[in-house]
Amino acid sequence: MEKIFNNTQVAFALKSDTELDRAYFLFKMIDNQPLVRIGTAVTNFAIKANLPVEGLIRATVFDHFCGGVNENDCLSVVDKMYTKGVSSVLDYSVEGKEEEEQFDAALEMTLKTIEFAKERQAIPFAVFKPTGLGRLDLYEKIGEKQTLTPEEKAEWDRVVARFDFVCGEAHKKNVALLIDAEESWMQEAADELVTDMMRKYNKEKAIVFNTLQMYRWDRLVYLKRLHQEAIKEGFYIGMKLVRGAYMEKENERAIEKGYPTPICESKEATDKNYDAAVLYMIENLDMMSIFAGTHNEESSYTLMKLMLERGIKNNDDRIWFGQLYGMSDNISYNLAAHGYNVAKYLPFGPVKDVMPYLIRRAEENTSVAGQTSRELSMIKAERNRRKGK
Ligand SMILES: Cc1cc2nc3c(=O)[nH]c(=O)nc-3n(C[C@H](O)[C@H](O)[C@H](O)COP(=O)(O)OP(=O)(O)OC[C@H]3O[C@@H](n4cnc5c(N)ncnc54)[C@H](O)[C@@H]3O)c2cc1C
């Protein structure tokens, strides 16, 4: 496969010299593990103590990884990226809420983003997180088949109703809807619910997309089983494939509670598992749509190669590549330049509510071997290219 991801001129065409310098400075900071640890602790404390740190956060991590504090803020970024063929997925990244009003607010926000997506070609998907619409502990209880109190039963009915409403609106408006995956101990209940939504709304094509975290060794078998159900019952499968963002938490909990970790035994095993799922979905594209959410260049090349070998058009509407805003522009923009479908998650929300997302990005860029150095080397190469070095 032709290697296209090293073209930094294409990757950073939208970044001014100053923006490039800021990105360089940011990734340099994130590269420093102790600094990220201290920075995270100090920031969390400062926010809780209501210290005026929002300006600082905005000027650094927030503006690099987020589109703004509300959905309208994001539109200028959406339009700008789309001039280069890169689409957006508006991601309301408020996390860890527990109250019914907050779930209803997240529901409203998701409906708004579905409406935005309906009106704009540059926004091909809407997205939400299961714990945005219901309590994590409740998903866990359902997954473990625990007996619910009447109050909990009513609470779960409301979660189901929220899912059904959002998916129904997406179906009515013909907007594909991604549903994120989270911790394994809440995921079983979410999977059942999302599969029900696929049964109901994916009769003509994939509108509802679940997410498979391929760092879990059981997910390929899960995908194959789901495929059999889909054949039997006659629905399309929409699936976002990711490696998974909660590895440390998963391993810690498994040790603490004394059960085998759901995570693959090594990074290589996760990589293999990811690529095997990509292959399986491409082999069954007649019934499946795939959103490959990854910053991994090899997995992206693997998918491109499979498409080429099978004579699948670069812009086949059943295949999307996805990256997060602020990361791996070399993949996103070069894919778009070659005519592939590509969308970046564009997170938004009030600064303090988006902090868990930002901390995950900072930690991921610190702990994931290679990600920061990849970003830094690309930025460095582009700075040198612009200086004529
Ligand atoms: C568009 C998009 C949407 C996303 N949506 C979700 C989502 O809904 N849910 C979610 O959980 N994450 C989501 N993510 C994050 C994703 O799961 C990864 O954390 C992130 O993309 C890094 O993985 P990678 O494929 O980009 O590449 P890489 O940098 O090649 O892989 C890093 C990943 O490999 C895995 N890994 C690392 N070390 C080991 C090890 N020792 N053993 C086993 N596995 C290991 C981990 O999953 C780690 O994150 C999303 C990412 C993108 C780009």
Q: Look at 144 and 56; give whichever has higher pLDDT.
A: 144
Rounded to the nearest angstrom, the distance between the alpha carbon of 270 and the centre of ligand 1 is 9
Q: Please state the three-class secondary structure of 323-389 as a single string.
A: EECCCCHHHHHHHHHCCCCEEEEEEECCHHHHHHHHHHHHHHHHHCCCHHHHHHHHHHHHHHHHCCC
Rounded to the nearest angstrom, the distance between the alpha carbon of 169 and the centre of ligand 1 is 29
Under DSSP, is residue 215 helix (H, G, I), strand (E, B) or coil? coil
Tokens of 130: 């299961």
Tens digits of per-residue pLDDT, 305-361?
A: 999 999 999 999 999 999 999 999 999 999 999 999 999 999 999 988 888 888 878
Tell me what pLDDT residue 249 has.
Answer: 93
Sequence-distant (≥ 6) Cβ neighbours of residue 65 within 8 angstroms: 324, 325, 326, 327, 347, 357, 358, 361
- Report the length, in residues, of the chain: 389
Tens digits of per-residue pLDDT, 146-197?
A: 999 999 999 999 999 999 999 999 999 999 999 999 999 999 999 999 999 9
Distance set, CA 242 to CA 18, 177, 265, 296 (Å): 32, 16, 17, 10
Q: Look at 275 and 49; give whichever has higher pLDDT.
A: 275
Q: How confident is the model at residue 281 (pLDDT cuts 50, 70, 90)?
A: very high
Q: Which atom of ligand 1 is nearest to the CA of 263?
A: 43
Ligand 1 lined by 131 (C-beta under 6 Å) = no
Ligand 1 lined by 320 (C-beta under 6 Å) = no
Tell me what pLDDT residue 271 has.
Answer: 98
Dist CA 205 CA 197 (whole Å): 13
Ligand 1 lined by 239 (C-beta under 6 Å) = no
Tokens of 321: 């590549």
Rounded to the nearest angstrom, the distance between the alpha carbon of 265 and the centre of ligand 1 is 15
Dist CA 112 CA 131 (whole Å): 18
For CA atoms 381, 122, 166, 106, give the dihedral sign. positive
Residue nearest to ligand 1 atom 33, measured at CA? 243
Largest distance between two CA atoms of the chain: 69
Residue nearest to ligand 1 atom 4, measured at CA? 293
Ligand 1 lined by 87 (C-beta under 6 Å) = no
Share of the chain above pLDDT 70, in %: 98
Q: How confident is the model at residue 366 (pLDDT cuts 50, 70, 90)?
A: low
Tens digits of per-residue pLDDT, 73-93?
A: 999 999 999 999 999 999 998
Ligand 1 lined by 245 (C-beta under 6 Å) = yes
Pocket test for ligand 1, best of 179, 185, 191, 243 (most atoms within 8 A of CB): 243
Residue 369 has pLDDT above 60, yes or no: no
Dihedral (C-alpha) 380, 386, 388, 389: value to the nearest 10 degrees?
0
Structural contact between residues 207 and 201, judged by C-beta atoms closer than 8 angstroms: yes
Phi and psi dihedrals of 212, rounded to 5? -110, 125
Ligand 1 lined by 332 (C-beta under 6 Å) = no
Rounded to the nearest angstrom, the distance between the alpha carbon of 181 and the centre of ligand 1 is 11
Rounded to the nearest angstrom, the distance between the alpha carbon of 244 and the centre of ligand 1 is 4
Residue nearest to ligand 1 atom 28, measured at CA? 296
Ligand 1 lined by 296 (C-beta under 6 Å) = yes
Ligand 1 lined by 293 (C-beta under 6 Å) = yes
Structural contact between residues 324 and 345, judged by C-beta atoms closer than 8 angstroms: yes
Tell me what pLDDT residue 151 has.
Answer: 97
Average pLDDT, the chain: 94
Mean pLDDT computed over 18-25: 92
Q: Which atom of ligand 1 is nearest to the CA of 214?
A: 47
Tell me what pLDDT residue 35 has.
Answer: 72
Residue 365 has pLDDT above 70, yes or no: no
Rounded to the nearest angstrom, the distance between the alpha carbon of 295 and the centre of ligand 1 is 8
Ligand 1 lined by 130 (C-beta under 6 Å) = no
Pocket test for ligand 1, best of 92, 242, 328 (most atoms within 8 A of CB): 242
